[in-house]
Amino acid sequence: MSRRKMLYEGKAKILYEGPEPGTVVAYFKDDATAFNAQKKAVLEGKGVLNNRISEYIMEHLGRMGIPTHFIKRLNMREQLLREVEIIPLEVVVRNVAAGSIAKRFGLTEGDALPRSIVEFYYKNDDLEDPMVAEEHVTAFNWATTQDMDEMIAMALRVNDFMSGMFAAVGIRLVDFKLEFGRVYDQNDMPRVILADEISPDSCRLWDANTNEKLDKDRFRRDLGNVTEAYAEVARRLGIMKENGSVTEEGSPE
């Protein structure tokens, strides 16, 4: 399929060397995994949808002044990105109790949290992404205290923007996961920017009226109609036409 050099194959994407130094191309696969890749499936069309949804969100965040790795979408499955040195943390923002926080603290799924909560997990599949405290992050040199403050501030801005964006189309943003990376400017000073993807794979999205899940929990919990739910998110955001095809606006050369 490609003459480009493959850099890394992950669970959901393949990274290729980009056309310019300091760039990479991310190819969005249809592969779905859950529970640390113990559960696997191919969901036809998922990669196309996540490519478009992530593009849409990253572009809006960029316009709001949040620095991101996103440069442009190249085609139905690929986007051009600034290459970053990934910080090995998953930064999770939660507005409503669901998933591990409900289990850990005995909360009922769906309960609103007293305020938005930001959590850090060590990104390591072999260890099943354990939750970490600031002490671990700084002691093991994954990030500095200043990096962490910046990630928290950016994550909360992303939360504000996305909560409003989804509320406007009848979707509740329950929680989501972000990844950040480092880039080096001319003076070799490191800077932390938003990386990876934002999609129904990395968010919990519930219909505001029915609480119907429109995210990867449909796959985790065998609820069926997974890609249909992702397509519904894309449709509500105006990325997809009523007939199900993706719009041509912003299409590649």
Ligand X SMILES: Nc1ncnc2c1ncn2[C@@H]1O[C@H](COP(=O)(O)OP(=O)(O)O)[C@@H](O)[C@H]1O
The count of residues interacting with ligand X (CB under 6 A) is: 17
Stretch that binds ligand X, among 12-20, 72-80, 210-218, 245-253 (CB under 6 A): 12-20
**Partners of 213 in the beta sheet?**
206
Stretch that binds Mg ion, among 7-15, 62-70, 118-126, 139-147 (CB under 5 A): 7-15
Measured from the CB of residue 241, what is the shortest distance to Mg ion in angstroms? 28
Stretch that binds Mg ion, among 8-16, 66-74, 89-97, 222-230 (CB under 5 A): 8-16
Instruction: Name which of 40 and 221 has its Cβ closer to ligand X.
Output: 40
- Cα distances from 54 to residues 47, 62, 172, 200, in angstroms, run 10, 12, 17, 9
Measured from the CB of residue 236, what is the shortest distance to ligand X in angstroms? 24
Identify which of 36, 35, 75, 38 has the alpha carbon closest to the alpha carbon of residue 55. Answer: 75
One of 6, 10, 111, 139 touching ligand X (CB under 6 A): 10
One of 76, 86, 152, 165 touching ligand X (CB under 6 A): 86
- Cα distances from 174 to residues 22, 35, 95, in angstroms, run 34, 19, 5
Tokens of 159: 């939360």
- Cα distances from 147 to residues 10, 66, 141, 179, in angstroms, run 25, 15, 11, 12
List residues near Mg ion by CB under 5 A. Answer: 12
